[in-house]
């Protein structure tokens, strides 16, 4: 099996002015593609070549000798999940079961938004902020570099990429502004609800 770069769920200009087509040309067309290419080269002619992306991530997580495979497999997964975590005319307060569960588990939308923005802004260096389901409860967490909830027994519902390459072309060094725009204009709560429903 050869991994392929999945098509974007919308046109590369669909999130403008919040995320530019130029950002997608690099972030999707170059960075995400490179992770796919690297992963294919690393698993070629090994037993992992027949496994799913999720199986690879889980089987090599924590294995220092396979860090390169983990990093590339996780980054393929993370980016596909990130594109789907956004949509044109997204953002704002959640609806459905996720909205109710944010009220129950996190003390309401405003507290969620504050915790999520804080997680993304305070992730030192590269990484991700997430809304996850952990032991039946919602949590806001952050991970470093390629690390992801799947490696920690958690189910991801939403993510934002806070690596510099995610925002530098559109926001330069203003990571907090990028995260606020993500929350106000881009979050795809339908995707979060679908992930919660199948968890």
Residues of this chain that bind Mn ion (CB under 5 A): 161, 163, 166
Query: Percent helix, strand and coil across the chain, each rounded to 5?
Result: 55, 15, 30
What is the C-alpha to C-alpha distance for residues 162 and 158, in angstroms, rounded to an integer?
13
Cβ proximity to Mn ion, 23 vs 193, nearer residue: 23
Nearest Cα to 19, choosing from 195, 186, 198? 186
Cβ proximity to Mn ion, 163 vs 189, nearer residue: 163
Nearest Cα to 5, choosing from 26, 34, 48, 25? 34
Cβ proximity to Mn ion, 15 vs 166, nearer residue: 166
What is the C-alpha to C-alpha distance for residues 69 and 3, in angstroms, rounded to an integer?
13
The helix or strand, by DSSP H or E, that contains position 1, with its residue range, turns out to be none
Nearest Cα to 27, choosing from 181, 166, 164? 166
Please list the alpha-helical segments (H only) found in the chain. 21-26, 33-43, 53-60, 67-84, 96-106, 109-122, 164-171, 175-181, 189-197
What is the torsion angle, in degrees rounded to the nearest 10, for the CA atoms of residue 142, residue 192, residue 188 and residue 176? -20
Task: Please state the closest distance from residue 115 (CB atom) to Mn ion, in A.
Answer: 22
What is the C-alpha to C-alpha distance for residues 196 and 98, in angstroms, rounded to an integer?
7
Task: Please state the closest distance from residue 93 (CB atom) to Mn ion, in A.
Answer: 26
Task: Please state the closest distance from residue 134 (CB atom) to Mn ion, in A.
Answer: 23
Cβ proximity to Mn ion, 42 vs 166, nearer residue: 166
Task: Please state the closest distance from residue 86 (CB atom) to Mn ion, in A.
Answer: 13
Cβ proximity to Mn ion, 77 vs 112, nearer residue: 77
Task: Please state the closest distance from residue 183 (CB atom) to Mn ion, in A.
Answer: 18
| Closest residue to bound Mn ion by CB | 161
Task: Please state the closest distance from residue 23 (CB atom) to Mn ion, in A.
Answer: 10
Cβ proximity to Mn ion, 130 vs 163, nearer residue: 163
């Amino acid at each position: 099996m050869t991994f392929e770069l999945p098509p974007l769920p919308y046109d590369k200009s669909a999130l403008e002015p919040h995320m530019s087509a130029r950002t997608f040309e690099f972030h999707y067309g170059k960075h995400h593609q490179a992770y796919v290419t690297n992963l294919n080269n690393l698993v070629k002619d090994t037993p992992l070549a027949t496994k799913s992306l999720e199986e690879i991530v889980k089987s090599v997580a924590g294995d220092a000798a396979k860090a390169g495979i983990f990093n590339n497999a996780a980054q393929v997964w993370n980016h596909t999940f990130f594109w789907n975590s956004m949509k044109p005319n997204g953002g704002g307060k959640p609806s459905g079961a996720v909205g109710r569960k944010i009220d129950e588990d996190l003390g309401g939308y405003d507290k969620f938004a504050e915790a999520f923005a804080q997680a993304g802004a305070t992730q030192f260096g590269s990484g991700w902020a997430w809304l996850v389901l952990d032991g039946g409860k919602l949590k806001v967490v952050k991970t470093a570099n390629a690390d992801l909830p799947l490696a920690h027994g958690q189910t991801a519902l939403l993510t934002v990429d806070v690596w510099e390459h995610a925002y530098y072309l559109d926001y330069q060094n203003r990571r907090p502004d990028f995260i606020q725009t993500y929350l106000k204009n881009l979050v795809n709560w339908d995707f979060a609800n679908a992930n919660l429903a199948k968890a």
